[in-house]
Amino acid sequence: MKGLVYKSTGSWYTVKSNAGKFYDCRIKGKFRMEGIKSTNPVAVGDTVEFEIETIGDETIGIISKIDKRDNYIIRKSVNLSKQTHIIAANVDIAFLLVTLNNPPTFTTFIDRFLVTTEAYHIKAVLLFNKIDTYNEDEILEVKYLAALYRSIGYECLGISAETGKNIDKVKEMMQDKVVMFSGHSGVGKSTLANALEPTLELKTKKISAQHSQGQHTTTFAEMYDLDFGAKIIDTPGIKGFGVVEMEKEEIGDYFPEFFALKQECKFNNCLHIEEPKCAVKDALEEDKLAWSRYKSYVQIVEGDEEHFRKDIYEKK
């Protein structure tokens, strides 16, 4: 039978069959995904092959195969430094909720998020939330940012999770897709989820309560079906995407507007920093590229890893 993994605890998996029935599943023997040293071989969002086994009056599923993933999001395991934990697989869209000042979302944070989604091959969309609270100047700033990121190729939308503004458009984007929400604490992720589906709060509350019982509460991602025909992956305790290991040389490739110019740089391994005859620096000088993007780029190349991780993980 074919199914989709809705929850993974490391030993048990909740799988929904194509016929729409949920099964508690275990993994058959030991199998590993090629090239991934992971503490959890099966992740939320995986499509799997499984067979039903009945032992006594108990029916469980045995997962025998994982389909090839379109993408996956990982993070380093806390204890086993060489191992990684797959947070989710086959994510169609990653929404980044952005607010200007409550809380502030800086362009460096947006750019790091976008670099990560590029590296993961996940479509990213910027949702400028709380537009009901902005004055004229702030609206102009949102428009400036939206124009900047649209020019690079990212979809942008101004919304209000509170008043419902453009929520129908968000739903349209999400139709038949698997979606993850990211953004600083307080940008409105829960409010948006509830605007999309008011009954969702109950489902997620129940889960969080379960998690808070233990001392060492490991948090597991979980997928939820929304009534209008979309799925969201909730990742309690993980605010953003894991840390992708990147070589200095490849970071520029995840800035699409820099990548587009790379061919014109004198050196084919140009880092666009000190090198002469650099098409990226030329374009910057001519104001064809945004300085804020370049600033983020340099920060990432120079490796501000600690700061990055603090941005992404919630403090305990």
Is 36 annotated for ligand binding?
no
Interface stretch with ligand GTP, choices 52-60, 155-163, 250-258, 272-280 (CB under 6 A): 155-163
Is 270 annotated for ligand binding?
yes
Which residues make up the interface to Zn ion (CB under 5 A)?
265, 270, 272, 278, 280
Nearer to ligand GTP by C-beta: 43 or 193? 193
Residue 198 touching ligand GTP (CB under 6 A):
no
Rounded least distance, CB 207 to ligand GTP, Å: 14
Q: Which does 115 bind (CB under 5 to 8 A by kind): Zn ion, ligand GTP, none?
A: none
Is 189 annotated for ligand binding?
yes
**How far apart are the C-alpha atoms of 8 and 246, rounded to whole Å?**
27
Rounded least distance, CB 116 to Zn ion, Å: 22
**How far apart are the C-alpha atoms of 57 and 250, rounded to whole Å?**
54
Contacts of 141 (CB under 8 A, 6+ apart): 100
Nearer to ligand GTP by C-beta: 130 or 262? 130
Contacts of 91 (CB under 8 A, 6+ apart): 45, 71, 72, 73, 120, 122, 178, 179, 180, 233
250 CB neighbour count, 10 Å cutoff: 12
Q: Which does 265 bind (CB under 5 to 8 A by kind): Zn ion, ligand GTP, none?
A: Zn ion
Burial bucket for residue 242 (CB in 10 Å: 0-12, 13-18, 19+): buried
**How far apart are the C-alpha atoms of 306 and 285, rounded to whole Å?**
31
Residue 230 touching ligand GTP (CB under 6 A):
no
Q: Are 144 and 201 in contact (CB under 8 A)?
A: no
Nearer to ligand GTP by C-beta: 53 or 201? 201
What is the token pair recorded at 132? 């009901």
E-state strands within 77-171: 84-89, 93-98, 123-128, 155-158
Residue 104 touching ligand GTP (CB under 6 A):
no
Q: Are 156 and 125 in contact (CB under 8 A)?
A: yes
Is 45 annotated for ligand binding?
no
Residue 162 touching ligand GTP (CB under 6 A):
yes
Is 265 annotated for ligand binding?
yes
Residue 279 touching ligand GTP (CB under 6 A):
no
Nearer to ligand GTP by C-beta: 168 or 274? 168
Annotated binding site: 129-132, 183-191, 265, 270, 272, 278
